Amino acid sequence: MAWVQRTISLAPRPRGFHLVTDEVLGALPELSGVEVGLLHVFCRHTSAGLTLNENASPDVRRDLRTWFDGTIPEQYAWTHTLEGDDDMPAHVKTSLIGPDLTIPVSGGRLALGTWQGITLGEFRDRGGSRELVLTLQGEGR
């Protein structure tokens, strides 16, 4: 199989953690033809990031936001403040969870655990749309 790469735009979301697994899968119909491979998902932003986490209970996503917002305060001795009080804390949060994920592909599907989903951490109040670069590589079925 050749490499497949495409960029998708996600609609703006409020601050918090949001499942984006279905949007990623919807953008990659070629995935079903991969027997074994890897999907790399990269977020092209410094104030939003990606994590694999709970895909069933919205309480987990609310608790993640509560922890991140409580641990990394907006009112702090930040020097990078030109873009608003939520900007520098967003950069710190993104540095903690990271901008990318690499997920194994097996039998035409992402080899995620039962309760795992691709989760976007949006760390700005008005972050706008977000772009993900999806890179799929593997051997066909």
Please check the confidence at residue 141 and state whether its pLDDT lies above 80. Answer: no
The CA dihedral of 18, 28, 91, 54, to the nearest 10 degrees, is: 40
Kindly state the DSSP code that residue 14 receives in the 8-state scheme. Answer: -
Pick the CATH number of 4-140 from 2.40.50.140, 3.30.70.20, 2.60.120.460, 3.40.50.1860: 2.60.120.460
Q: Residue 22 contacts by C-beta under 8 Å, 6 or more apart in sequence? A: none
Contact criterion met (CB below 8 Å) for 36 and 106: yes
> What confidence tens digit (pLDDT) does each residue in 24-65 have?
999 999 999 999 999 999 999 999 999 999 999 999 999 999
pTM for the whole thing? 0.96
Q: What is the DSSP string of 38-88?
A: EEEEEE--SSEEEEEEESS-HHHHHHHHHHHHHHS-SSSS-S--TT-TTHH
Q: Where are the domains of the chain?
A: 4-140
Residue-wise pLDDT tens digits, 81-130 = 999 999 999 999 999 999 999 999 999 999 999 999 999 999 999 999 99
**Average pLDDT taken over every residue of the chain:** 97
